[in-house]
Structure 1
Amino acid sequence: MNWIRSSLFALVVLIVTPPYVVFGWLTFFLPPDTRHRIISSWAHVVLWFVWHLLGIRYRVLGEENIPSRPVVVLSKHQSAWETMALQQIFPKLSFVLKKELLKVPFLGWGLAQLEMIAIDRSAGKDALEQVVDQGRDRLQDGYSIVVFPEGTRVPVGQARRYKLGGAWLATQTATPVIPVAHNAGEFWRRNAFLKKPGEITVSVGPVIETEGRTPQEVNQLAETWIEGEMHRLFPHHFEGN
């Protein structure tokens, strides 16, 4: 049954995505906010099929921690699911992503039409400047910014070194940080065609204020909360580690 569901879901994404990209091109004359709402609705449509076709639902803990002002969201990254779901959980988002993604047919072309922050990860310190320069503009326009501090999707029960980019942006722009933990990889594994039905738990942590703190301190606070929450909520991920 999971094979059938996953195959149908892949077919739905193939059918839905190209028209959205073409429609996005046709909205070039509209204000950026309007274009963003129209094009990002793709994620909401796909999540409907994730829920009703794949049987993957989710619940959110700590919704009261989501402020109305723009923030930098530092999130655990396990699958493609959270790149869509965070757009439902947080209003008006921009993502920090690697420039190569913009070359992916249809999906990348769609991302290129949104107010994303595309960086060249091989640029070293210059990449941090790219994040701050573009991120400051997005924050001023009312966007919250999502950064996956581990840099890539990480298998369930594992963690990678948290990079400074998100914390650096937050401290340079005096923007609060919101940490996010979840177990999406339990049902939607990295690069896996087969998805399993179940309920994903997304936990939104308390605001981490950046005033008077270094990027290293902010990064450490976020990592400590996220990894601690992962162990608290999903201890079965770490059995035997």
Structure 2
Amino acid sequence: MNFIRSLLHMLWMIITVIPWALLVVIVAPFASQKLVYKLCSGWLRHAVNSGQLILGIRNRVTGFENLPKGERDPAVLLVKHQSTWETFTMVAIMPHPLAFVFKKELLYIPFFGWAMGRLDMIHIDRSRRTEAFTRVVQQGRELLAKGVWVIMFPEGTRIPRGEKGRYQSGGARLAIECGAPVIPVAVTSAKCWPRKAFIKKPGIVDISIGPAIPSKGRKPTELMREAEEWIEAEMVRLDPEAYPSGQAKLYTKAKPE
């Protein structure tokens, strides 16, 4: 049954992404970024809704009270990355427009990448690290000033369930440069949508939004370490079956009070 569900969902995504992407590509040169984002976020919400209907995946979100309240209040979201699911979901649930920081190779994905290229996102060349970070800061500052929140996956890639990648300090550096708080987010999507897996399983994905961490006067490594400790401790709390007891003990102790 899960195979059939997964196949139907994949086919539905393919069928819907083509006309959506073509519409975005055609409309983008003549439309405002607000309208283009609305079109793109609409399809991503559709992706989440179809995942709920066809795959049986449900989101359980906590911590909305930790998000900045003002229309122009900035935020840098640092999100645990286990699957494609949170890429769709974060846009669907957040009260502000989001700008992802992602590698430029994603722009070449047929249809989906073409549409994403029409948005004010921050796409970087990872082979040119200094130039890439300068671009992130420059664009990030402009977007944050408009009330667009920047979202980054600090581990850089999708991480298997129960594992931890190497956290990069780029998100913390951006937050410090722009004077924005860091918002850590834990996501247990791999319970239902494992990394690089075709077959998905029904279930609940927990999305926990942590307390804002001020960036003023902080060092990037220190700020990122605090975000990392919160995220990983929260992952253990939300999905204890995925972590060995020793690792659970480590991150439970590391979690800030």
Q: TM-score range by the shorter chain?
A: over 0.9
Amino acid at match of 1:189: P
8 Å Cα contact 1:128-1:168 kept in structure 2: no
Partner SS state of residue 208, structure 2: strand
User: How far off its partner does 1:6 sit?
Assistant: 0.4
Deviation string 1:4-45 (CA, Å, 9 cap, x unpaired) is 110100100110001111110222211111211112211011
TM-score (norm 2): 0.91
- Asked if residue 41 in structure 1 is aligned to residue 46 in structure 2, the reply is no
User: Residue 215 of structure 1 aligns with which residue?
Assistant: 220
Q: Please, which of 81, 84, 102 is the counterpart of residue 85 of structure 2?
A: 81
CA distance in 1, matches of 2:35, 2:144: 17
Residue 30 of structure 1: aligned partner: 31
Secondary structure of 2:213's aligned partner: coil
Identity %: 44
Task: String of CA shifts for 1:146-190, please: whole Å, max 9, x gaps.
Answer: 100000000001011110111111000001110000110111011
In the TM superposition, what is the alpha-carbon distance from 1:70 to its structure 2 partner? Answer: 2.6
Tell me if structure 2 keeps the 8 A contact 1:72–1:145.
yes
Aligned to 2:14: 14
**For residues 95-110 of structure 1, what are the structure 2 equivalents within 5 Å?**
95-110=100-115
Q: How far off its partner does 1:119 sit? A: 0.4
Deviation at 1:89, TM superposition (A): 2.0
**Which ranges of structure 1 fall in alignment gaps of 5 or more residues?**
none
TM-score normalised by structure 1 residue count: 0.97
1:116 and 1:190 map into 2 onto residues whose CA distance is 24
1:54 has 2:55 as partner:
yes
Do 2:107 and 2:114's aligned partners in 1 also have CA atoms closer than 8 Å?
yes
CA distance in 1, matches of 2:3, 2:26: 36
Q: Deviation per CA, 1:125-156: give whole Å up to 9, x if none.
A: 22211211111111122110110000000000
Task: For 1:51 and 1:204, locate their aligned partners in 2 and report how far apart those are by CA, in whole Å.
Answer: 21
Amino acid at match of 1:184: S
- Cα RMSD (Å): 1.1
Q: What's the offset of the Cα at 1:232?
A: 1.7
Paired position in structure 1 for 2:237? 232
Q: CA deviation at 1:97?
A: 0.4
1:179-234 Cα deviation digits (max 9, x unpaired): 00011011101111100000011100000000111111211110010011111221
What is the distance in 2 between the residues matched to 1:130 and 1:155?
A: 29
Gaps of 5+ in 2: 248-257
